[in-house]
């Protein structure tokens, strides 16, 4: 029970999750399912059933084993339910590692299928990757909470690695340059956006539906500080709403029960996140000398359309001298020809004194 709401059996298609605060209560729920299946002539799979006891590792044991059709149900520390990895000790590192692996593997598989940055517009390639790979790797990220700095760093590294692959850039290229050219924000922003959109879907539900009632109870519990420490979706939502200056919508919903339409809410989310991240990005590049030339050309996080047919890398003269020290051998030159072009027209067009290195792959 959650206050006055019964939430003991969450059903999704043919997956059932039984929830109880005591072993006796769980045994009663299992017996109800077993009796129902026998009356209707079907059986649950005891081999696919698992028990998780959500607590610290010291109290993870269960005094009496739980049985289904006379067979013991195994007790595990981690399992997957409707595509979501659950950990009995509330640890999320394995889930984050799995997301990083899926993200990299999916992006590379898209490239191997024939979509390659050598002949495809990077902006088009980035849209394909974002639509195909990110929803798969970050499935149900709306329910993620309490990600550590280490986990966020792992996700960002995979994110930036894919961004450089899409543009065909070396691994050591500055990430703030690469992501801004494709209008890619941080993975944390993607997760925050999913959470805000999920909150909007919950708010627009009918008041009689169980998910909406659970949300209202959790919001009231958080506002009135009914618990000493509250984890989960609601505290993360409040933090994100404050971060992107959207807390007024949450407060207004709690007071009046009204919420913007889907289209209006999505516009608010996109504008707030884009504005916030653009300010942070400009602050980062304004104090870094490596971006002295770059920030004169690319001042905002917008698609940079100059040089879509060629790979154009803007560098300083110092970086050019470093590049020339790594000129390939004569055998490598036969495979890949480099044309170093100090083009006065390009300098005039960009209104800056810089060196343009244009790489043609033959």
Query: Is residue 1 in a domain?
Result: no
Collapsed DSSP state (helix, strand, coil) of residue 210: helix
Query: Is residue 305 in a domain?
Result: no
Provide CB contacts within 8 A for 148, sequence distance 6+: 92
Provide CB contacts within 8 A for 288, sequence distance 6+: none
> What is the mean predicted confidence (pLDDT) over 127-139?
91
Tell me the per-residue pLDDT of 163-221, one tens digit each, with 9 for 90 and over. 888 888 888 888 888 888 888 999 999 999 999 999 999 999 998 888 898 898 889 88
- Cross-strand pairs, 338: 359
Q: For residue 113, what pLDDT is reported?
A: 82
Tell me the per-residue pLDDT of 140-157, one tens digit each, with 9 for 90 and over. 999 998 889 999 999 999
Q: Are residue 286 and residue 350 in the same domain, yes or no?
A: no
Burial of 122 (C-beta count, 10 Å sphere; 0-12/13-18/19+): buried
Q: Are residue 216 and residue 351 in the same domain, yes or no?
A: no
Closest by Cα among 275, 212, 217 to 246: 275
Tell me the per-residue pLDDT of 100-120, one tens digit each, with 9 for 90 and over. 999 999 998 888 887 776 677
Q: Are residue 55 and residue 98 in the same domain, yes or no?
A: no
Tell me the per-residue pLDDT of 328-357, one tens digit each, with 9 for 90 and over. 445 444 433 333 333 333 333 333 333 334
Q: Are residue 238 and residue 115 in the same domain, yes or no?
A: yes
Q: For residue 237, what pLDDT is reported?
A: 92
pLDDT band at 327 (very low <50, low <70, confident <90, very high): very low
Tell me the per-residue pLDDT of 283-309, one tens digit each, with 9 for 90 and over. 888 888 888 877 777 788 887 764 433
Query: Is residue 132 in a domain?
Result: yes
- Domain that includes residue 152, residue range: 92-297
* Most confident option among 51-60, 63-72, 198-207, 317-326: 198-207
Q: For residue 221, what pLDDT is reported?
A: 86
Does the pLDDT value for residue 266 go beyond 50?
Answer: yes
Q: Are residue 80 and residue 226 in the same domain, yes or no?
A: no
Single residue among 297, 327, 348 that ends a domain in this structure: 297
Distance of alpha carbon 96 from alpha carbon 254, whole angstroms: 32
Would you give the DSSP letter of residue 54?
-
Query: Is residue 3 in a domain?
Result: no
Q: What pTM did the predictor assign?
A: 0.78
Helix ranges restricted to H, 113-209: 122-132, 134-137, 149-167, 175-181, 187-203
Tokens of 240: 């994100």
Distance of alpha carbon 5 from alpha carbon 207, whole angstroms: 13
Q: Are residue 274 and residue 320 in the same domain, yes or no?
A: no
- Residue carrying structure tokens 């640890």: 91
Number of domains in the chain: 3
Tokens of 201: 């879907």
Query: Is residue 137 in a domain?
Result: yes
Distance of alpha carbon 242 from alpha carbon 51, whole angstroms: 37
Q: For residue 305, what pLDDT is reported?
A: 60
Q: Are residue 40 and residue 164 in the same domain, yes or no?
A: no
Does the pLDDT value for residue 91 go beyond 70?
Answer: yes
> What is the mean predicted confidence (pLDDT) over 65-76?
87
Distance of alpha carbon 160 from alpha carbon 176, whole angstroms: 9
168 Rama class: left (phi>0) / alpha (psi -120 to 50) / beta: left
Tokens of 219: 């919001």
Q: Are residue 332 and residue 248 in the same domain, yes or no?
A: no
Q: For residue 247, what pLDDT is reported?
A: 94
Does the pLDDT value for residue 46 go beyond 80?
Answer: yes
Provide CB contacts within 8 A for 94, sequence distance 6+: 78, 85, 87
Other Cβ atoms less than 10 A from the Cβ of 126: the count is 21
Query: Is residue 302 in a domain?
Result: no
Q: Are residue 280 and residue 254 in the same domain, yes or no?
A: yes
Cα end-to-end span (Å), the chain: 67
Average pLDDT, the chain: 79
Q: For residue 66, what pLDDT is reported?
A: 87
Q: Are residue 79 and residue 98 in the same domain, yes or no?
A: no
> pLDDT above 70 covers what percent of the chain?
80
Query: Is residue 303 in a domain?
Result: no
Q: Are residue 111 and residue 250 in the same domain, yes or no?
A: yes
Q: Are residue 33 and residue 165 in the same domain, yes or no?
A: no
169 Rama class: left (phi>0) / alpha (psi -120 to 50) / beta: beta
Single residue among 66, 87, 108 that ends a domain in this structure: 87
Q: For residue 348, what pLDDT is reported?
A: 32
Q: For residue 24, what pLDDT is reported?
A: 87
């Amino acid at each position: 029970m959650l206050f006055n709401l019964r939430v003991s059996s969450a059903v999704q298609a043919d997956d059932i999750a039984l929830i109880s605060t005591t072993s006796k209560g769980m045994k009663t729920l299992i017996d109800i399912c077993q009796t129902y299946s026998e009356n209707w002539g079907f059986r649950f799979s005891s081999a696919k059933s698992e028990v998780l006891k959500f607590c610290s590792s010291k109290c993870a044991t269960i005094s009496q084993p739980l049985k289904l059709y006379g067979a013991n149900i195994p007790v595990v520390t981690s399992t997957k339910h409707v595509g979501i990895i659950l950990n009995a000790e509330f640890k999320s590192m394995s889930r984050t590692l799995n997301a990083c692996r899926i993200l990299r593997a999916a992006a590379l598989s898209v490239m191997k299928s024939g979509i390659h940055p050598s002949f495809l517009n990077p902006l088009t390639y980035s849209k394909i990757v974002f639509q195909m790979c990110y929803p798969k790797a970050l499935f149900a990220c709306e329910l993620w909470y309490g990600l550590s700095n280490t986990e966020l760093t792992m996700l960002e590294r995979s994110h930036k690695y894919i961004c450089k692959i899409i543009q065909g850039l070396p691994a050591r290229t500055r990430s703030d340059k690469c992501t801004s050219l494709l209008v890619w924000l941080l993975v944390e922003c993607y997760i925050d956006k999913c959470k805000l959109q999920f909150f909007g879907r919950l708010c627009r539900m009918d008041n009689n539906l169980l998910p909406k009632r659970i949300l209202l109870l959790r919001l009231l519990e958080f506002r009135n500080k009914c618990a000493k420490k509250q984890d989960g979706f609601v505290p993360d939502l409040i933090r994100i709403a404050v971060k992107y200056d959207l807390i007024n919508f949450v407060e207004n919903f709690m007071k009046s029960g009204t919420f913007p339409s889907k289209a209006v809410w999505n516009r608010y989310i996109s504008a707030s996140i884009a504005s916030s991240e653009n300010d942070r990005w400009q602050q980062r590049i304004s104090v870094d000398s490596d971006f002295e030339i770059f920030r004169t050309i690319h001042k905002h996080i917008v698609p940079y359309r100059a040089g879509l047919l060629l790979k154009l890398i803007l560098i300083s003269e110092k970086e050019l001298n470093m590049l020339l020290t790594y000129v390939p051998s004569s055998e490598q030159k036969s495979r890949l020809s480099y044309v170093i072009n100090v083009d006065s027209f390009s300098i005039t067009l960009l209104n800056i004194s810089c060196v343009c290195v244009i790489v043609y792959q033959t």
